[in-house]
Chain A
Amino acid sequence: MPRGRNIRSQRKLEAAQHERNESVGRRLAVLAFMIALVGVLFWAGVHNLRYRRALSEANHVKLIPASPAADDSAAPDIEGSNLRGKNAPAFTLTDVTGNKVSLADFKGHPVVVNFWATWCGPCKLEMPWFQEFSAKYKEQGLEVLGLSQDDGASRQDVADAAKKIGVTYPILMPDEAVAKKYGGVDYLPETFYVDRAGKIVEVTAGAPSKEQMEALIQKTIAAGGA
């Protein structure tokens, strides 16, 4: 065989070998990239699952079902539920007589912070229960504060409505900034049960049954030390 032909053949073989090596390298690179991507997706899934579990535990909110027939998707997302276990946001508001009332005034007391409005039927139906329980658990130091969400209503209108409903505990006039601190309060009634140490024990959105309300009050009184 001529020498020149051998050399050409040798070069061809080398080129083919080089190409095969390159091809294997590319495939390995693609494989490594795909493994990395699958790893990222797996990590994202685990992260998502952990986050949702944590959120679910933190959002231990008592949502009262709208009705047995109601669509579950109608249940509101209550941002205030994120406050459970945290210190109740401080506020100072004026009551219907113009006096300033602060949450801090009730330090050492279990306090029910109830957001309500004159146009809210369920609010008006549950408020007499708060009145009844504030008397029943007076010796345990229970205090109830009704925070009106009637934007634009006069003090007199709110006072008249409270009188008509039959409540005598402090009724405070609205302040959007306070509602915002409590998660926006876009769903009424919304109630925050605050223990003696100032921590939010429970959050409810919607009117509970009277029995549920009393159980929550008892839990709040028992929490945060005597």
Chain B
Amino acid sequence: MRRGVLAVVALTLPLIAAAQIQLGGVDRPTEAKKQHVELLTDSLQLTANKPQDVELRFRVQPGFHINSHKPKDELLVPTELRLNAGALRIANQQYPPGSHFRLPVGDGEDLDVYQGEFRVALRVEAPKGDSVLSGSLRYQACDNAACYPARILPVTVAVTAK
């Protein structure tokens, strides 16, 4: 008898799970605030108490572009990295130049954008030990036909200084 019950339970659980996926999946809300940029740098290895040039690498999702730090139109939202220094010393933040992109709508519009991977350069001085470089990247993404409102990408990078 016990074996029979166990067999029923073992067979039933995956079936119930499948039924829940079938029924629950249709009403699952879509992700409302999907990011279009990701941070590729997750850690930095530095020499303690010595200013060093580092780069934070970001990647824009394929099919999208974001405005560069200096877009051509003042109404456009520039990409901006804001960092909380904490125990670190951060200086000389430098953005890469954007690339030319012509918006393929009607007569088109010339834009200065980041596409694919881009890197923001920094000069960082860290005390000996582990610390965290944190902050956020504000950007506004568009594809060829439409735009999303500006979004904030959290930036967290582990820093180890020896």
Binding site for B on A (CB under 8 A): 26-27, 30, 33-34, 37-38, 40-41, 44-45, 47-48, 51-52, 55, 64-67, 69-71, 74, 76-77, 117-126, 128-129, 149, 161, 184, 186-190, 205-207, 210
- Interface of chain A, helix or strand or loop or mixed? helix
Question: Which of B30, B108, B146 is the one whose CB lies under 8 Å from A206?
Answer: B146
B18 within 8 A of A: yes
CB distance from A168 to the nearest CB of B (A): 19
CA distance A117 to B146 in the complex (A): 11
Chain B positions 6 through 29: 1 when the CB is less than 8 Å from some CB of chain A, otherwise 0: 011001100110110011011000
Cβ B140 vs Cβ A119 within 8 A? yes
Contact flag A125-B106 (CB < 8 Å), given A26-B4, A52-B26, A74-B61: yes
Q: Which residues of A contact B42 (CB under 8 A)?
A: none
Task: Kindly report which residue of chain A lies nearest to residue B16, judged by CB atoms.
Answer: A37
25 contacts between A and B (CB under 8 A): A37-B12, A47-B23, A51-B26, A66-B145, A66-B146, A70-B63, A70-B144, A71-B61, A77-B30, A118-B75, A119-B75, A119-B77, A120-B146, A121-B147, A122-B144, A123-B147, A125-B108, A126-B105, A128-B106, A149-B149, A161-B75, A186-B148, A188-B147, A205-B146, A207-B146
Q: Residues of A contacting B32 with CB < 8 Å?
A: 184, 186
Chain B positions near chain A (C-beta within 8 angstroms): 1, 4, 7-8, 11-12, 15-16, 18-19, 22-23, 25-26, 30, 32, 61-64, 75-77, 103-109, 111, 140, 142-150
User: Which of A40, A65, A124 has a CB less than 8 Å from the CB of B145?
Assistant: A65
Q: Tell me if B4 and A125 are in contact (CB < 8 A).
A: no
Per the bound structure, the CA–CA distance linking A45 and B60 in Å amounts to 37
In the complex formed, the residue of B with least CB distance to A46 is B22
CB distance from B150 to the nearest CB of A (A): 7
Chain B residue contacts of A188, Cβ below 8 A = 146-149
Chain B residues closer than 8 Å to A117, beta-carbon distance: 147, 149
> CA–CA, A187 to B144, complex, Å?
12
Given A30-B4, A124-B109, A125-B109, CB of A45 within 8 Å of CB of B22: yes
Give the distance in Å from the alpha carbon of A30 to the alpha carbon of B7 in the complex.
Answer: 9
- 10 further A-B contacts with Cβ under 8 Å, apart from A66-B64, A71-B61, A119-B76, are A37-B16, A45-B22, A47-B23, A48-B26, A67-B143, A76-B148, A119-B75, A125-B108, A186-B32, A205-B146
CB distance from A53 to the nearest CB of B (A): 11
B7-A66 in contact (CB<8A)? no
Chain B residues in 8 Å Cβ range of A122: 103, 105, 142, 144-147
Known: A121-B76, A121-B147. A71 touches B63 (CB 8 A): yes
Choose one: B30, B103, B143; the contact of A74 (CB below 8 Å). B143
Give the residues in chain B near A66, CB-CB below 8 Å: 63-64, 143-146
Contacts of B150 in A (CB 8 A): 119
Taken together as a complex, chains A and B put the C-alpha atoms of A119 and B140 apart, in Å, by 9
Does B11 lie within 8 Å of A34, measured CB to CB? Answer: yes
B11 touches A64 (CB 8 A): no
B16 — which chain A residues lie within 8 A by C-beta? 37
Query: Residues of B contacting A34 with CB < 8 Å?
Result: 8, 11
A152–B30 Cα distance when bound, in Å, is 27
The distance in angstroms between the C-alpha atoms of A129 and B146, with both chains bound, is 16
Chain A residues, CB < 8 A from B11: 34
Interface pair B106/A74, CB less than 8 Å apart: no
With a CB–CB cut-off of 8 A, which chain A residues contact B105? 121-122, 125-126, 207
